[in-house]
Structure 1
Amino acid sequence: MAADTRDRMIGAAIDVLRTKGVAGMSFTEVLDASGAARGAIYHHFPGGKAELVAEAATRNGRDVCGHLAQLPTDDPLTVVETFLASVRPVVDASAEGAGCAVAAVTIDPDSGTLRDVASDVFDSWTTTLAQRLTAAGVDHDTAADLATTLITLLQGAHVLCRADGSLEPFDRITRTATDLIRHRYPRGR
C-alpha cells in the first residue's frame, strides 16, 4: 500500500510538472491528485520537493524511453515517421497548455542537481532512439546526430505548439523532417 501511495504521488507530480513546472508545483496539488495524506510527503520523500521532482522526471523519462525502445526498425524513414506519430498526442497536449515534465525541470532557476536528472533522461532518450536508427541501417555517428535532432525537434515543438495553441508548428516540423529523411534514406534501399 505504501508503494502504491508513493507511485500515485510520483504520477501526480508528473502531471503537475507538465502543466505548472517546478516553481508552480505545490505539495497540495500532488496530494489532492494522488489522494495521499499530508504525512505521506516526507515519509515517502524525505528530501522534499526536490526528491519528488527528481523521481517524477526519472519515471517519466524511463516511461518514454520504454516507448522509444519499441519503435520499429524496418528502415530509417519508418523509425522517424513512427517516432513523430507517437509523440504527436504529447505535443497536442502542449498546444492545450501542458509540456514535458523533464524539460520543466531544466527551466527552474533553482534546479541545480535536477538539471543532471534531466540531462540523464534526455541522454537515455537520445541513446535509445539512436539504437533504433542504427538497427534500421543508419551508421552510428549519423544515428546519434539524427536522434539528437529528433529529441530537440520534440522539445522545440512543445514550446512552439504551446505558444501557438495549435499543432501547426509540429505539422510543419513533421513534414520537413520526413521529407529530409525520405530523400536521404528512401524506403527499400
Structure 2
Amino acid sequence: MTTTPVRERLLTSATLLLRSRGADGFGMSELLEHSKVARRSMYQYFPDGKADLLRVATAESGKAVGNMLKAVLAEMSTLDAVDFWAQQWADLLIESDYRLGCPLAAASLSAQEYPAAAAEAATAFRRFEGLIADAFVRDGLDADEAAAAGSVLVSGLEGAILTARATRDASVFHTLAAHARAVWGPKLG
C-alpha cells in the first residue's frame, strides 16, 4: 500500500481548506489534523509555516488551473471553452453544496496577511487572461479587444463564483457564458 507523500497531503489539505474557509478560516492545528501530518514534518517542507504553505498551494493551484484552461482552449473555440468552464464551475458548486470556491480568490482576499499567496494568485489570473486573449485572437478577434475580453471573463468568472456561493444559485454562470457569446460571438470569424 502506498501512502500519499507528506508535502502533497499538506498542499491538498491547504487547498481544500482555502477553497472552503478562506485563508483566515483555519489554523495550523486544523490544517495538521486535516492532512494527518505532524507539526515538525510540516516545517520540514514549509519552513515559514502557513504563509509559505499558502503561497505554494496558491501557486500550484494556479498552474494546474492554467494548464487545464490551456488544454480546453486548444480543443475548442474560446466561446465554447467559456461555456464549458462556466458549466464546470456551476457543477462543482452544486456538487459541493456551494462550499468550495476558488483558492485563488481566497488567497487574494487575504493579501494583507498573506501577500506572497496573493501575488501568486495575481500571477495566475494574468496568465488566465493571456490564455483567453490568445485564444480569442486565434478565433479572429482584434488583439486589443481580445485582451479586454480575457480580463473581463476572468473577472466575471471569479465574480460568478462568489455570487453563486452567496446566493446558492449557479444560474449566474449561464448568464456569463450567454453574455460572452452575445458580445464577442458576432465579432469572430
TM-score category by the smaller chain? 0.7 to 0.9
Q: Distance in 2 between matches of 1:126 and 1:25?
A: 30
**2:185 alignment partner in structure 1:** 182
Q: Distance in 1 between matches of 2:78 and 2:104?
A: 26
**2:58 alignment partner in structure 1:** 57
Q: Distance in 2 between matches of 1:95 and 1:149?
A: 27
Q: 1:80-113 deviations in whole A, cap 9, x for unaligned?
A: 3333334333454676122111111121242333
**1:145 alignment partner in structure 2:** 148
Q: Distance in 2 between matches of 1:142 and 1:38?
A: 49
Give the % identical residues.
Answer: 25
Query: What's the C-alpha RMSD, in Å, of the aligned pairs?
Result: 2.4
Q: TM-score, with normalisation over the residues of structure 2? A: 0.85
Stretch deviating more after TM superposition (54-63 or 141-150): 141-150
1:159 matched to 2:162? The reply is yes
With over 3 angstroms needed to count, the CA separation of the structure-2 counterparts of 1:177 and 1:67, relative to structure 1, is: same
1:27 matched to 2:28? The reply is yes
**2:87 alignment partner in structure 1:** 85
- How far has the Cα of 1:11 moved from its partner? 1.1
With over 3 angstroms needed to count, the CA separation of the structure-2 counterparts of 1:168 and 1:3, relative to structure 1, is: closer
Letter in 2 for 1:16: L
Q: TM-score, with normalisation over the residues of structure 1? A: 0.85
Letter in 2 for 1:103: A
Q: 1:34-86 deviations in whole A, cap 9, x for unaligned?
A: 22222212111101110000011001101100111112455443343333334
With over 3 angstroms needed to count, the CA separation of the structure-2 counterparts of 1:98 and 1:79, relative to structure 1, is: closer
Stretch deviating more after TM superposition (57-66 or 109-118): 109-118
- Contact 1:106 1:118 survives alignment (8 Å): yes
Secondary structure at the counterpart of residue 5 of structure 2: helix
* Length, aligned pairs only: 186
Q: Distance in 2 between matches of 1:184 and 1:66?
A: 27
Q: Distance in 2 between matches of 1:184 and 1:81?
A: 17
Secondary structure at the counterpart of residue 141 of structure 2: coil
Stretch deviating more after TM superposition (139-148 or 71-80): 71-80
With over 3 angstroms needed to count, the CA separation of the structure-2 counterparts of 1:115 and 1:24, relative to structure 1, is: same
Q: Distance in 1 between matches of 2:73 and 2:128?
A: 15
Q: Which consecutive unaligned segments of at least 5 residues does structure 1 have?
A: none
Secondary structure at the counterpart of residue 70 of structure 1: helix
Stretch deviating more after TM superposition (136-145 or 13-22): 136-145
